[in-house]
Structures are given as C-alpha cells and as structure tokens.
Structure 1
Amino acid sequence: MSMNREEIKELAEHIYDLDAEVYIHLGSSLGRVFNRDRERCVNELTELLMTRPQGHVVRSELALIANMARTLEDKEERKLCMSEYDRILKEVMSLPTSFAHGDVLDPDLAELNAFNLKERFSDQDHLIVCISWTYGSGGNEVGFRLSDKLKISYYDAEIFEAVLKRLDAEKDSFHDTAGYASEVKDEISQSPASAFAPAKKLTLRQRFREFSRYHGLSKRDAVFFNQSDLLCDMAKKEDFIIMGRCGDAIMTNNKIPHISIYITAPFEQRVLRAVEVNSGLDERKARRLLHHLDRRHSRYYNFYTGRKWGHANNYDLCINTASYGIDGTVDFILKMIDGGRK
C-alpha cells in the first residue's frame, strides 16, 4: 500500500489518539505511551512511519498501547479500543516502511516440519512464552505477531523498562546493564559503530556509591535480580510473551510453567536481513555486528543462568525462521501452544 505524507500523518494521529483514549479509560495508574504534546509526538511518529527504521520503536509503542487496552475492565470500551488497534496495526503492517517488512524465509528449507508438546499447564496457570533469539532472525517480529494472535501482552526491552520505571525502579538501570535486548535497541537505533564503543568507566566515588546503593551487589546484578522478581510477580497475574531477559531460566528456577523458544536463522540469512532492515548498515558491518552481539548475548545469558545460550537442551523449541518465514514461524508456534494446552 502506498501512502503520502498526509495520509501517514493521519495514521500517526490515530495512534496518538488511541493512546489518549486508552489512558482516559485507565486513568493514571499505567501512564501514557505518548506523554508529550500532540504535535511533537505526531511529527515524530510520522517520520518513523515514513523512513523505515527504527521499526522496533513503533512495534514497542503499539504493543504497549495494546497491553494497556487489554486491561480495560469495561468490555465494550476494551472491544472498541482493540478494534481500533487492530485497524491501525493492519495499516502500519501494510506500509512499505513497516517494521514487519522483510522476511528470513529460505524456500529450500521450508518443506520439512513436525512438532509436539506435552501437556503442562493447569487451569490456574497463565500462558508464559519466553523467547530467546539471535539478532537478524526476526525474533522480535515473531514475538510481537504471536502476542497479537494470542491477544496477550508483549514485553521487550523498551516495554520492560517502562514497567520497571512505573514501579519506581532505578530510572537509569537499563542504560548498560539490561542485557542483549536493550543492547540491540541502543546499538542499532544509533549506529552500528556504537555497538563497539567502550563502556563508560566509573570513578572510584561512583563505584562506591553504587556499592552502597545496591547493598554490596554490582549494579548489573541488582538489575538482574530486580527484573527476575518482577517477571515472577507478573507470571502470577497475566499471560504474556517475554523477549529475552533470561526469562526461560527465571521461570524454570521458580518452577513457573512456561514455554521456552529459541529463534535463529543461518548466519548468512541473518546478515541479509540485518542489512535490509537497517539503513546505513552494509554487509561487512552487519557481519561484524552480528558476531559482536552474539558474543555479548551469550556471555550475559551464560553468566546469569549457568546455561549455554542457544543450546537445544534449554528450550522446548528451537526454530529456524529461514525454514518457515516469520508468519510461518508464528503459525508453527501457535499450533504447538494449542496442542500443548489441550
């Protein structure tokens, strides 16, 4: 679908208005996604929708609005808001610059497939899906579309940070300690070169202050334990999809029923997709970036879980998106979940 700037601006206004409508019904307990003046927010959204992007920014903002809309107690209000959300999402997904554009499908791998999942959820358990993924495999798009199909909440780095801030967590706790997902957010949204910038060194005074603030734990450890507690609390209250955050290991260690999925694709397919969805990223930089992010993700996951990131033994399902494509992967997982909950 081709849209001119005025039409895209109108779509941005609808997104802003839906956020406002949800906020009016909810009150101030969860806050707003767009809490600045209308004109500025609409203009920023218009630019994001016109230039591809920062697709993860649009995806996270839409998902957060949907998460809040699903909590509306009045069924009619919830239905109206979710109908408008579905209409907006359909328009956004059809844009040439949509975050959903670009697939990982390798037709030569796409014909072989079977699966099964044993029953594990009781009637009292919430559906928790923990997704780990390699950058360039389309994992975030799979998680986002899966949440929309299942009508459950979606939490990625940006949304999880917002939830923690609303619970009066440390406002700076995710700047360099949140792990792979927020690292990808920072690195890709700025420039590929920033992924390799050295970490900011703290002074002795700053290190002592953080030592006192976190009761002797490193800031990195304190953030991990804080997010672990929050995930366990969320699992008692709602169905959701969690992207990264070592969610699978946290759920396992706390004996919380869940489905754990690892999403990846052949390195060459990931390189092609990374170049396609990130303007200014050539093939050489993409290769270097993917190697770098894989190492960082692996170190973080291995350190906090004692497991090996990407090892098949740690997951219910390891899936190669090049064999299914993004939509096919979502359908595959949906069938597995339906079979596992019967």
Structure 2
Amino acid sequence: MEENQKKCYEIAERIYDLDVKVYESVGSALGRTFTDDRQTCVENLTRLMTLRPQGHLLRSELALISNMARTIKDEEVKAEVMTEYDAILKAVAELPDGFGKVDILNKKRAKLNTARTKKKFKKGDHLVICIGRTQGSAGNDIGFALADALHINYYDVEILQEVLKRLDVTNDAKVSGDKDQDGLIEDKYQKNFGEAKGLKQKLHDFNRYHGLNKDDAIFFNQSDLLCKMAKEEDFVVMGRCADVILANNHIPHISIFITAPFEQRVKRYMEVNNLSLKQAVHELKKMDKKHRKYFQFYSGVKWGDAENYDICFNSASYGIEDSVEIIERMLNKIPGVSWNKKEA
C-alpha cells in the first residue's frame, strides 16, 4: 500500500473507532455517524482522504462526531474523546492533500487590513456565527477551523440534512414504535427519503410536508431547527439563510460574508479539485448562481451585499488561519465575552 494511502487508512480506523466511542459514551438514539461495517466505513473514509474533491464530506463527518462528543456528560471521557479528535484533525491536516491545505491568501493584499466590530450580545445569549461565502473562497474551511478554535459545534448543509433526517425518523418511530433488532430506531427512508413512489407515497409526502413542496418544507423545518439550536448552544453555521432566519426571529447572531477575487478563487478551485481552468470557471459560476438564487428566493435579501452582514472580508487578503484570527478578535470586542477562551 502506498505510504500516503497507508496513513489515510490508519487515520480512517481512528475516526471509525472514535465514532464508536462517542456513540457508546452518549448513548444517543440518533445513531452513529458511520452505520456500515467497520471495513466498509474505513475504506470509504480512506477514499475521502485520498480524493481532495471530497474533502468537504470528510470535514462534515468529523464535525458530526465532534458535535455529538461535546454532549458527553462524563467530563473525563469527554476530555479523552476530544483529545483524540484534535489528534485526528492534526493528522488529517498533515496529509499532503488535507482539507484546508490549499490556502486562499493573497500576500500583497494581506498587509492592508484591520478589523473592528460593534456587535453586542446580552448576557446569556448563545454565540451563533452565520457564514455566507462565494464558492472557492475557503469559507467552509474558515468556518470549520473557527468552530474548532472556539470549541463549538459546526453545521453545514450535509450535517443539517442529516440532523433533520434523524429527527424525522426518530419522531416517526416514536409514533409507529418500530425498532430494529438492536433496539435502535430504524431509518425507513435512507437514500429514498422524501422521494415520491406512487400515489400512496405522494399522499404520504403531502401530509408529511403539510401540502408544501419538499424543498420548501425542508427549508421551514431547517429554520425551526436553527432557531431552536440558537437558544440552546453556541455554533457556526454555513449558509442556509441562517442569518436572515435568526434576524427575523430576533435571535442574536453574527453574520459574516466571505469572498475573494474571482481569479483567486478559480486558482484555488483548480488546485483543490484537480480541474482545468475551463471546468473551474464553469463550476464556480454555477455554484455562485445556485447560492444566490437559494438565498434571495428564501430571504428576499440580496446575497453578498455588504450592508446585509456584520462583516464582509476578502479571504485572499488574510488566508484561512488569519481569517479565523480576525473573527476571534471581533468576538473579543463584545463586552464581557471571551468565547475563544472556552475549554474543549
């Protein structure tokens, strides 16, 4: 086995074992992150680590595990688990193609910047950081690194969809009483979740979504979930109109928009995803259009307009590491608050 692949395989085994440890320690009915047999899961994780275009999927899997780990009540076990989690993150970062390895920094612009904020929270409010970003600006890498630095949970579209799916299955099972042989709630929908199959299924979905189409129903369910989470925990959330949703519900949060010059984003996207110039340009334009359309459709607010955010910055002027530091400095300006000094 090639040396790098061997390292990935070893890390994959550690990730799988950590997931098992976290699940056993929490005893949650929501289930583990990895549900297939050990060999299959380890091979899939190894593949994710060796294929850079799938790096964001690995990041989401790790975030799911850490989010669950932070709910462990036994502080000694929690500390042990988070120590292993941090060690795994470090091992992934040291891989030649680890996520976040390709930075967005433009060194010439990095010398020109300062940061400031006037945002204030009341005592007892939870720290919720909503991040919007253009594709290729390293926004997800910055958000993930920020959540890790602050020792708070991280949510992106994949994680939110998984949480909603598990909650939906849990609630459905509570009604039907269905359980598998191990006593765990059966995931009835799995890959076919929400797909209409025949008149009976269409009627079922119509009732499930209260007559709304699936996309609208998911958005409203997701909105309810975000509001509930914002009243219970600190977290970083990527996109999903979270800033507008929380603002409309009068819930304190910090909204950030991250972007970078198009040519800089293309350059990074080509390297991260092994794409040609033509492919990268096409993909970036397509994804930016998709994000803009989604945001403006559900929020009625102009996506990326500086006046709609607490802070907007050019990640190419800072890079991933310094972007995280900038946001931390901003948080430290909130009177009486030092979230970045929290212990894991």
Using the size of structure 1 for normalisation, the TM-score is 0.86
What is the CA distance between 1:201 and its match in structure 2?
Answer: 12
**In structure 1, which of residues 305, 323, 326 is the aligned counterpart of residue 320 of structure 2?**
326
Is 1:121 aligned with 2:121?
yes
What CA distance in whole angstroms lies between the structure 2 residues aligned with 1:298 and 1:174? 27
On the 8 A contact 1:271/1:286 being kept in 2, the answer is: yes
After superposition, the C-alpha distances for 1:57-102 in whole angstroms (9 at most, x for unaligned) are 1111111111111111111011000001011110101100111210
- Candidates 216, 223, 232, aligned match of 1:221: 216
- Displacement of 1:339 after TM fit? 1.3
Q: Name the amino acid aligned to 1:246.
A: C
The alignment status of 1:259 with 2:263, answered yes or no, reads no
Q: Does the 8 Å contact 1:139/1:263 carry over to 2?
A: yes
Q: Is 1:94 matched up with 2:94?
A: yes
In the alignment, residue 271 of structure 2 is paired with which amino acid? Answer: E
2:248 paired with 1:248: no
2:6 maps to 1:6: yes
- Cα drift, residue 203 of structure 1: 9.7
Aligned to 1:103: 103
Query: Which residue identity is paired with 2:278?
Result: R
Deviation at 1:129, TM superposition (A): 0.2
Shift of 1:300: 1.3
Q: Deviations over 1:87-138 (max 9, x none)?
A: 1110101100111210111111111122222252122110000000011000
Retained in 2: the 8 A contact 1:54–1:99?
Answer: no
Paired-residue identity, %: 53
Query: In structure 2, what residue type is equivalent to 1:320?
Result: N
What does residue 68 of structure 1 align with? 68
Counterpart-to-counterpart distance in 2, 1:205 and 1:175: 15
RMSD: 2.6
Q: Which sections of structure 2, spanning at least 5 residues, go unmatched?
A: 173-187, 337-344
Residue 256 of structure 2: SS of its match in structure 1? strand
Kindly indicate whether the alpha-carbon contact (under 8 Å) linking 1:105 and 1:323 is maintained by their aligned counterparts in 2.
Answer: yes
Decide whether the 8 Å contact of 2:129 with 2:256 is kept in 1. yes
Answer yes or no: is the 8 Å Cα contact 1:3–1:95 preserved in 2: no
The verdict on how the C-alpha distance between 1:289 and 1:72 changes in structure 2, with shifts beyond 3 A counting, is: same
Q: Work out whether 1:307 is the aligned partner of 2:301.
A: yes
CA contact (8 A) 1:53 1:97 kept: no
* Residues 119 and 254, structure 2, Cα contact 8 Å, conserved in 1: no
Q: Could you tell me which residue of structure 1 aligns to residue 157 of structure 2? A: 157
Contact 2:196 2:205 in 1 (8 A): no
Q: CA contact under 8 A between 2:103 and 2:319: conserved in structure 1?
A: yes
State how far apart, in whole Å, the 1-side matches of 2:204 and 2:30 are: 31
- C-alpha distance 260-105 of structure 1, shift in aligned 2 (>3 A): same
Partner of 2:279: 285
Q: Summarize deviations over 1:14-44 as a string: whole Å, max 9, x none.
A: 1111111111101133311111111111111
Change (3 A) 1:6 1:212: closer
After superposition, residues 10-21 of structure 1 pair within 5 angstroms as: 10-21=10-21
Cα distance in 2 between the residues matched to 1:159 and 1:176: 15
Q: Distance in 1 between matches of 2:237 and 2:28?
A: 24
Structure 2 CA distance for aligned equivalents of residues 341 and 46 of structure 1? 44
Matches within 5 A, 1:125-136: 125-136=125-136
Contact 1:30–1:68 (Cα < 8 Å) also in 2: no
Aligned-pair CA distance for 1:258: 0.3
Counterparts of 1:207 and 1:319, CA distance in 2? 45
Q: Mark the runs of 5 or more structure 1 residues left unpaired by the alignment.
A: 178-199
Q: Does 1:239 align with 2:234?
A: yes
Residue 315 of structure 2 aligns with an amino acid whose one-letter code is T
Partner Cα distance (1:256, 1:174) in 2: 34
Question: Alpha carbons of 1:117 and 1:217: their partners in 2 closer, same or farther (altered >3 Å)?
Answer: same
Aligned match of 2:265: 270
